[in-house]
């Protein structure tokens, strides 16, 4: 039986963390055995360069450049690839919070020229899937919130441990970056329409309710189209955070962090 790989993507402030939890619950109620993974995998050796980069150790994101930064994130996904493939081979469902689409959105944001930005997006796609050979998702669900709304929502977040007292990382601190990231995500969707399913979370300029967004998410998943809750109790789920493969993962409260 073939497994199914689902990725939840979204602009900052789109409520990915809450939607991730709701989708996990829906999959479990449908009788699916789910492996969850959050990217970046903060606290693991594979995410070291990502953490250093986001904290600004290597300089600003302009100084680092999009291709090198992309490689930091790709290395982290290579680390998780084995566990993902193993779970899919058993017919399980893998649910990931961010994946290659996040690299496209945030690294592409560093290039204002549309033609050059799209060239970078194609490069990232080829680098991660063909050179790094990480597993390709069956579906990427993209939660879109306009950047002007995202920035306000991010301002309400509390401190996150990996930022050592800051509320925003080097990406979130720059409104222009959020605006460019939104445009880059949209370019990625246009370039790879078969890979992404888009959900407009603020169609009229006002954010939809958490439940309304969740209903849109489940409606787009063929996996849940004709499923029903299991009658013999809640099925098991596993996580790279608690497995032997990921026993060095950071605590679960880090799931609330912005991950790019």
Q: Where do the structural domains in the chain lie, given as residue ranges?
A: 4-252
The pLDDT of residue 234: 47
**15: annotated binding-site residue?**
yes
pLDDT score recorded for residue 183: 95
H helix or E strand, kind and range, residue 239: strand 237-239
From the number of C-beta atoms within 10 Å of its C-beta (0-12, 13-18, 19+), residue 132 rates as middle
Q: Specify the 3-state DSSP secondary structure of 46.
A: helix
Residue 14 among known ligand-binding residues: yes
- 3.40.50.300, 3.30.750.24, 1.10.238.10, 3.40.50.150: CATH of 4-252: 3.40.50.300
- Per-residue confidence (pLDDT) for residue 36, from 0 to 100: 98
11: annotated binding-site residue? yes
Give 164's strand partners.
none
| pLDDT for the residue numbered 243 | 44
Sheet holding 196-200, edge to edge: 196-200, 139-144, 4-10, 93-97, 34-38, 237-239
pLDDT at res. 91: 97
Q: Is 16 annotated as a binding residue?
A: yes
pTM over cut 0.85: no
Q: Is 114 annotated as a binding residue?
A: no
Whole-angstrom distance, CA of residue 50 vs CA of residue 73: 6
Predicted pLDDT of residue 247: 40
- Annotated binding residue at 3? no
For residue 147, say whether it is annotated as part of any ligand binding site. Answer: no
Give the residue ranges of the chain where pLDDT is below 50: 159-163, 168-169, 171-172, 228-235, 242-259
Tell me which residue of 120, 80, 102, 56 sits closest to 260, measured CA to CA.
102
Check residue 173 and give its pLDDT.
Answer: 53
DSSP H/E element including 79: helix 66-89
Task: For residues 130 and 62, give the distance between their C-alpha atoms in angstroms, rounded to a whole number.
Answer: 26
- The annotation status of 59 as a binding-site residue, yes or no, is no
Return the number of other C-beta atoms located less than 10 Å from residue 17's C-beta: 17
């Amino acid at each position: 039986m073939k497994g199914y790989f689902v990725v939840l993507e979204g602009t900052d402030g789109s409520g990915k963390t809450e939607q991730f939890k709701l989708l996990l619950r829906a999959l479990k109620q449908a009788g699916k055995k789910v492996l969850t993974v959050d990217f970046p995998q903060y606290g693991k050796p594979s995410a070291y360069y990502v953490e250093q980069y986001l904290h600004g150790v290597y300089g600003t994101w302009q100084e680092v450049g999009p291709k090198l930064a992309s490689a930091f994130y790709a290395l982290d996904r290579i680390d998780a690839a084995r566990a993902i493939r193993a779970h899919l081979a058993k017919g399980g469902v893998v649910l990931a919070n961010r994946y290659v689409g996040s690299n496209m959105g945030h690294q592409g944001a560093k290039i204002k020229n549309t033609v050059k930005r799209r060239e970078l997006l194609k490069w990232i796609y080829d680098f991660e899937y063909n050179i790094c050979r990480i597993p390709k998702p069956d579906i990427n669900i993209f939660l879109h919130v306009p950047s002007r709304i995202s920035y306000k929502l991010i301002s309400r977040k509390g401190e996150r441990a990996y930022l050592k007292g800051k509320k925003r990382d080097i990406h979130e601190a720059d409104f222009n970056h959020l605006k460019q990231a939104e445009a880059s995500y949209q370019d990625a969707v246009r370039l790879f329409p078969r890979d992404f399913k888009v959900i407009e979370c603020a169609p009229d300029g006002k954010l939809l309710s958490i439940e309304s967004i969740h209903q849109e998410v489940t409606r787009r998943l063929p996996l849940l189209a004709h499923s029903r809750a299991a009658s013999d109790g809640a099925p098991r789920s596993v996580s790279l955070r608690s497995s032997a493969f990921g026993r060095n993962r950071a605590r679960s409260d880090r799931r609330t962090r912005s991950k790019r």
